[in-house]
A and B are shown apart, each in its own frame.
Chain A
Amino acid sequence: MPLKMALPKGKLLKDTAALLQRADWGLDEYNAKISFYHPRSRKFPGLLLKVFHEKDIPIQVAVGNYDLGICSLDWVEELLAKYPSSALVKVKDLGYGRSTLYMAAASGEASWRKDGVIRIASEYPNLAEAFALRSRLSRFSIFPVWGAAEVYPPENADLVLLSSAAAVEGNGLRQVARVLESGACLIANRQSWAAKDLSEVVNSICREVPPAPEKTPSPVSLLSAVPGSGIIHRGDGTVRLALPDGHQQAPTVALLNRCGITLDDYPSSTGNRRPNISLEGVTVKVIRPQDMPLQVANGNFDLAVTGRDWLAEHLYQFPSSPVKELVNLNFGRVRVVAVVSQDMAVDDAAGLRCLVEEKGLSLRVASEYTNIADRYARDKRLGPCRVIPTWGATEAFLPEDADMLIENTETGRTIARHKLKIIDTLFVSTACLVGHTGSVANPVKRERIRAITDKLRAAAEEAPVENH
């Protein structure tokens, strides 16, 4: 059985590549332009390497799909906070990719919210929850977000757990606690560490790690009393609109412009997430489309431009949620599909079901859409199955680390390039405007929302914006 190792994409890639180059690994493809996820090492030709989003690596190593992995310590601790008995060994601090996790609150005067619920937004929901329990917060809500947590306070969260001081200071926040000192870390599966000889690989890496600098201060909570920064009730009828970051920005702007609505500084070159809009009584904040349904459900926004995929994902988890689709915006068209390896001898869900039954498989389904994937596997009666949450680059999971994906695709080309095939289309997703059913209770708001939805509906119907 060859040894297997998971390497990070993203912010740790450059330094990790440099480290492995110093260790003379001779990797054929491990750089920022990576398109396949299986680099090979000249030094360790038998070592099976795969590149993952670094957030996926602790899970992959803990479940035993990989013997070794390199990722940032914060994601290891995020996993351990929820699953302390995970089979992980922290082998070595690699000395780069240093960051600190801070709990931060809006600067300005702290006040307790009337209902006493502290809202914490974070990409690290498990660490945030552990912090809340440790700090004896009597009542709290954790909002897991995909990103842009720094823009949530003060209106949409009281505390955020962030991974850099720059994000804290640049957004009018102040630190209330240091939660974790993080950095790149070599990890191993506990069983592999106990039973396999990993020494050659581990040695070659550890030799190249500079001696550890002076010990960083251990994480200490500076929090004596947790502030609630006070929810800002927009009783005045202001409509709060969430617009997407990322690649949906251009078609969103195009559609708004055709309605005669303009924005300054969106998309922003400086990372501004609070652009002004040419509509009276409307404020705009830019967040991840994935996070919008939950945020609208919680009354943090009245309207949001997101995708039907993320709306479905939300409604499958919370069927009685007060979020509903108001306008189909007709751009950002993707298919949400079930994907398997081309080597798997099935053509549709029924075939997969037969295969699972015949072989007594426990299907592993990898997806960014965990609730959609879970529902699909249940509806198609795909037997006992496990859903593996992922954070992008999901196609890399097949065939070794998952048996099926639930993925979105525009053209299907990426799927074909990875030697995968589509066996089912769950639904077609387009961008849509969603709203909170309770927002119309305020008559001023109702009129403003109606004006916006009428304009958007007319523009979306007359000339659908094409994707490419």
Chain B
Amino acid sequence: MKVQRCKGTRDLSPEEMARFRLIESVFRDSCLKWGYQEVRTPTIEYLHLFTSAGTLTPGMLGRVYSFLDWDGWSGERVVLRPDGTIPAARLYIECLADRGLARLCYVNNIFIFEETGKKSRERWQCGAELIGAGSSLADTELIALSLEVLKKLGIDGVELRLSHAGLVKSLLGKLGLSCEEQAAIFDQVLEGNTRGLAAAMAASKSVAPGLEAALPPLLNMKGQTAGFLKNLKSLTAQDLPEMQAHLDNFIGTVSALEALGYKYQIDIASGAGFEYYTGLIFQLFAGKEKIGGGGRYDDLIPAMGGGDVPASGFALYLDRLLGLVEMESSGRSPQQEAIAVMVNPDDKEALKKAFAVAEKLRGAGYVAALDLGGQESKAHGRALTVRSAPPCFVWRVGNKSSQYAESAAEVLRLLEA
């Protein structure tokens, strides 16, 4: 039987893992400096945490890994977490609610079935959640933090796309649709499909006269300035008064971003796949690839029974960043090549010396690996041969001539030379 990796999963090679750790540490360092605290939630959660109305779209729920646990005779299923935000919100409600404001970050894997098996069904994300703050400033903080992480990783040309779930929802509210239809179309929009919305708008013309002029530009609205939103606000002030609060909120965040010098694109129909968003939605693109996104989810914690607590957050998609990050441009050195410590294991005196000198080398910041025989040092490799009789230490780099030392201290001096 052929030994093989499970379909839809990936391995991380030593080189990929080095980049993975780099991304993780840049993300964590940035978050900690902005006042976030790292948390970790369990891989397994109850399914009902995610099925509660307003959390995940049915499309996503149909692809979760759910199963009956060993004590699941009641038929209640558990899942491999399909999302990072909902467990973080659960953690907040269970353990941190008395703090009021919580800035949380995590590096987690999530599990979503994907039919072809070509994409990975296990995905890693760097997530940050800002729970207990409802202001535009909070949204601005998250966007700035996410862009800072990407900049520190050396990823250039990141495009920021903004949308607003509140706007889309209040628009749907004007179309004379049933709750179920509204939910279905909102799901489609969040999944990046606006055909249903367009059809519903076309059909609603008779229901809500006067909207013809206002709605198409809303759906297709793309713009790069707060001025664009202000124009839109003046256009819709009379026909769509319920939209004004959302537009004000949107304008607030956008003006702040503008003042800070961030470039963005407003694209109302850009989706994010999560039903829990209520306000600003932002997405981060590198070229055509989406590398992260987030938004405001003020109704999630109330719907989970955690009281009236606003929140927003984002996630960066680690798997996609892996392909974009280069160790060199990050300013961090890749793992150094090991010094091969060679010793005859039968010579116990030499063995003692070898382990002692290797420990000193590691203490001084070098990587020292025992040569296990048969692994002649590579052409350009660095090798230290240890013997019990003088000269005790023979230092050689590649094919260059050997140098000798009598103590560990001398070896270190040779290395530094």
Contact = CB atoms under 8 A, between A and B. Distances in A.
Nearest to A121: B75
A349 interface: no
B75 A384 contact: no
B71 A133 contact: no
B70 A133 contact: no
Contact of A298 (B48, B53, B75, B180): B75
Nearest to A384: B1
Interface in A349-400: 360, 362, 383-384
Interface string A122-166: 000000001011101111111100000000000000000000000
A271 B359 CA distance: 82
A360 B62 CA distance: 36
A15 to B, nearest CB: 34
Chain A binding site: helix, strand, loop or mixed by DSSP?
A: loop
A141 B70 contact: no
B76 interface: yes
A130 B62 contact: yes
A138 B71 contact: no
Given A85-B115, A133-B62, A119 B1 contact: no
A117 interface: yes
B327 to A, nearest CB: 38
B1 A320 contact: no
Contacts of A138: 48, 51-53
A318 B48 contact: no
A143 B75 CA distance: 6
A319 interface: yes
Given A317-B68, A318-B70, A362-B1, A141 B52 contact: no
Interface hub of A117, A136, A141, A383 (most chain B Cβ within 10 A): A136
B68 A119 contact: no
A432 interface: no
Contacts of B51: 132-133, 136-140
B61 A133 contact: yes
A142 B75 contact: yes
A140 B51 CA distance: 9
Contacts of B52: 138-139
Contact of B48 (A139, A297, A314, A383): A139
A321 interface: yes
A318 B71 contact: yes
Contacts of B180: 224
B241 interface: no
Nearest to A119: B75
Contacts of B115: 84-85
Contacts of B68: 317-318
24 contacts: A84-B62, A130-B62, A132-B51, A133-B51, A133-B61, A133-B62, A136-B58, A137-B51, A138-B48, A138-B51, A139-B48, A139-B51, A139-B76, A141-B74, A141-B75, A142-B75, A297-B73, A298-B74, A298-B75, A318-B68, A319-B71, A321-B71, A321-B73, A360-B1
Given A139-B48, A141-B76, A318-B72, 17 more contacts: A85-B115, A132-B51, A136-B51, A136-B58, A137-B51, A138-B51, A138-B52, A139-B51, A140-B48, A142-B75, A224-B180, A297-B73, A298-B74, A314-B73, A320-B70, A320-B71, A384-B1
